[in-house]
Amino acid sequence: GRILEVNARNNFILVVRNQNLTDTIRFNVGDETRIEDIFGRRIRLSQLVPGLRVRVEHADFMTASIPPQSPAFEIRMVR
């Protein structure tokens, strides 16, 4: 999906899939979340920006909130 918002203060990103705003997910980022650039190098949450395409590995569950939330295990930039 594409990043809509990066909130480094509250440790989350909003990602929209398929360019459909109703398909937005909030991924909560913790100390154990691995964040990588397109070359697999580790980067910080603050280095992500809206508009970037990312692939997020996350928990199998999501909250019933709007938007749904899930903890992120890995966030990787894609081309």
Closest by CA position to 76, among listed 33, 36, 17: 36
Query: Residue 34's Cα: distance from chain center in Å?
Result: 11
Residue 47 clears pLDDT 90, i.e. is over it? yes
Q: What angle do CA 39, 41, 47 make, to 5 degrees?
A: 100
pTM: 0.94
More confident residue, 68 or 22: 68
Number of other residues whose CB lies within 10 A of the CB of residue 34: 14
In whole angstroms, what is the distance from residue 16 CA to residue 3 CA?
A: 6
What are the structure tokens assigned to 45, written together?
């949450």
Torsion over CA: 5, 7, 10, 11 (sign): positive
